[in-house]
A and B are shown apart, each in its own frame.
Chain A
Amino acid sequence: MALVSPSIKATTQAQVRASITRRDRNIGGLVLYVLLLIAVATTLLVLFTLLARLFAPALPVFRDRGLSFFTGTIGSNPDKVGIWPGLYGSFIIGIGVIVVSIPLGVAAAIYLEDYAQNRWYNRLIVINIRNLAGIPAVIYGILGLTIFVGWLEPLTTGKTVIAAALTLAVLVLPIVIITATEAIRSVPQGLRDAGYGVGASKWEVTRDHVLPYAAPGILTGTVLSLARALGEAAPLILIGAITGLLPATSLDGPFTALPMTIYSWSSKATPPKSVLGFDNVAAAAGVALLLLVLVFNIIAVIFRNRFEKQRIGL
């Protein structure tokens, strides 16, 4: 504490500090402290249990199977199955979500934040978008089945990974819009005014000042939405992801994704003769999904750090 001058002896210094802190303590603060500690400990405990529950059964799979687990296809024998179709499907879905929902979402956020006037219909749009973010995923599955598998069949060629990617992109679009809106709102008004002051147009200010400043916040939203999209199984069930046998991966044919693979393996009985169980491979597929999300997130974090450095002019 800066109040105590260094000339006072160490013992008295400690006594003074103790008397100050003792006076500061109160029962309410102590209870709150303990409660917060319990909250953190519970969260960590749940997380570690989850990871242990996932990694322990998955380890034998990685040890026994190695790379062949990643290159093999789904099937009947847990000793031979692999997650390649799921990895491929989830990867394409990730790319599709980035390509579709981020430009659309950021554009919508720019419009709502900088261009839209404060009228009742614009407020209605914002309220609707916020509500859309809370709609259960399976409803989006029905939407995807109707629109992307049904009406847009010439584009998606039916129950394909393209239809799945578009459905999940629509699913996360509200989240992208909301986080991007908030990131754009956090850009100081002075920055915009400075731009207008030197005669820049609205578009120039948005492009050169607002967007670079808001980029880290937008990327954080992207990471969240991408993780959500990669983990969804419910819409994929409706769109018709394959869980039985899938010999080849393609953009315009039958597809599957990692969450579907995990879901179907979790409910399969292990054949009597096999060494590894379907619960083992399901856990290993879960680890693979975690890794895939991690790779996407690392890329986003690297980009975010770049933008942040640009912002402070390094």
Chain B
Amino acid sequence: MNTSKRRLAITGVISLSLLAAACGSDSKTATTTAAPATTAAAAVTTAAAADTTAAADTTAAADTTAAADTTAAADTTAAADTTAPAGGPELASGEVFVTGSSTVEPISIRVGELAKEMSGGSLAVTVEGPGTGDGFKKFCAGEGDVTGASRKVKDEEATLCADAGINFVELQVGIDGLTVATSPKNTAVECLDTAALYALLGPESEGFANWSDANALATELGSKSVPLPDAPLVISGPGEESGTYDSLVEFVAKKIATDRSQDVVFRADYASSANDNLIVEGIESADTSLGWVGYAYYKAEEARMKAIAIADKEGNCVAPTDETIADGTYPYSRPLFIYVNVDKAKANPAVASYVELYLSDAGIAQVTDAGYVAEAAAKLATSRDAWSAI
């Protein structure tokens, strides 16, 4: 009897504490979503103090304090109308939903975290990354305020949006370079041209288990990279669902495959994964592997892979680096976009604030932070102009 009573008491305590935890969350939610302007302003000042430690950028700290000064008089419509965004725009409170490319997702997450920090939690941004194609499907169905894309919107997607009466604005936020990589132990391959890569990866190379198997096709296509080494060919890369797959197919296979009236795809018989870590593992584990990942992942795991330089149209080998991708000399780089639902941005000041922050200097700094390459100043100015024109 005594032990059972004690056990009951323990049960009570556990369930009470769990209940308390659950209720705690509720009240937290309530305060974050419905924070009045005055507390938001106070919170911004503390956020500014936190910022100086977090970001080793003194201008960012200065900007956040400036934002703290103006938040008291923060007018949401004014915030949306502000043209040239500075380091830290005034932020309206509210909720924003971001979907789209998993490549753009890390940038959107960082900007969202920045928004939370600078607004003291009143600008709540939810980010998911199902992929560029899925993102447009949702975006054109009216789900989501912003969608990220690792390529330009396709015609049929634009039609889908137009049919649903959704107006959007396209804003380039950065550049992603693709990196074709092999194992660090592979000394036989330093540079490949697009024709050789097509011969190795394209739809006509199914069954090639050795690099040299691709020699005939590569020669036929006029590749300067032949002869390819006599070594096992172990390929790992992203699967068809990935934007990284689409992009490399576009770079490598689109023109050649169309000319040869083949399907614009890659061979199906390689180890594909949606998980970049597994791809890196695959590239690392075989001595003469071939694979490709986004430049961000390559940079994060630089020690485990060797980047293969890509020959440009003149035949010069260009290795993927921050500089070659930014100035466009590296052949396999792609722009990153966000698409904003214009009507929602006009109706919801929180969406306008988020995009404003995205395009501000502090927001664009997140692009490099996420491992991508910042776009040239002129392109950024184009994006800002396109945004202020809506």
Contact = CB atoms under 8 A, between A and B. Distances in A.
A48 interface: no
A303 B112 CA distance: 44
Contacts of A270: 300
Contacts of A146: none
Contacts of A103: none
Contacts of A298: 14
Nearest to B301: A269
A88 B126 contact: no
Interface string B26-43: 001100110000000000
Contact of A88 (B25, B106, B128): B25
B10 to A, nearest CB: 7
A302 B11 contact: yes
A244 B105 contact: yes
Given A269-B300, A299-B11, A303-B11, A249 B25 contact: yes
B98 interface: yes
Nearest to B371: A271
A98 to B, nearest CB: 11
Contacts of B275: 266-267
Contacts of B125: 245, 247
Contact of B129 (A244, A253, A266, A303): A244
Interface string B1-27: 100100110110011001001100100
A289 to B, nearest CB: 15
A3 interface: no
Given A247-B32, A272-B300, A306 B108 contact: no
A76 B109 contact: yes
Q: Give the bracket for the number of chain A residues in contact with chain B.
A: 35 or more
A116 interface: no
Contact of B106 (A76, A91, A248, A266): A76
Q: Give the bracket for the number of chain B residues in contact with chain A.
A: 35 or more
B29 A306 contact: no
B267 interface: no
Interface in A275-314: 295, 298-299, 302-303, 305-306, 309, 314
A302 B11 CA distance: 7
Given A76-B110, A242-B126, A267-B276, A309 B4 contact: yes
B299 A272 contact: yes
Interface string A252-273: 0110000000000011111110
B126 A302 contact: no
A250 interface: yes
B187 interface: no
Contact of B113 (A92, A245, A254, A306): A245
B179 to A, nearest CB: 13
Interface in B261-280: 274-278, 280
A176 B302 CA distance: 50
B113 A76 contact: yes
B126 A245 contact: yes
Contacts of B11: 299, 302-303
Given A91-B22, A243-B129, A75 B7 contact: no
A295 B10 CA distance: 11
A249 B14 contact: no
A247 B18 contact: no
B4 A306 contact: yes
B116 A247 contact: yes
B362 interface: no
A84 interface: yes
Contact of B109 (A75, A303, A305): A75
Contact of B7 (A246, A272, A306): A306
Contacts of A216: none
Contacts of B301: 269
Interface in A88-107: 88, 91-92
B279 to A, nearest CB: 10
Ranked 6 nearest A-B pairs via Cβ: A244-B127, A245-B127, A247-B124, A267-B275, A269-B300, A245-B112
22 contacts: A75-B109, A77-B113, A84-B25, A91-B22, A242-B128, A244-B127, A245-B126, A247-B126, A248-B28, A248-B29, A249-B25, A254-B128, A267-B274, A267-B277, A269-B296, A269-B301, A271-B370, A299-B11, A302-B8, A302-B11, A309-B4, A314-B4
Given A75-B113, A240-B128, A248-B29, 12 more contacts: A242-B127, A245-B127, A248-B28, A266-B277, A269-B301, A271-B370, A272-B371, A295-B14, A299-B15, A306-B7, A309-B4, A314-B1
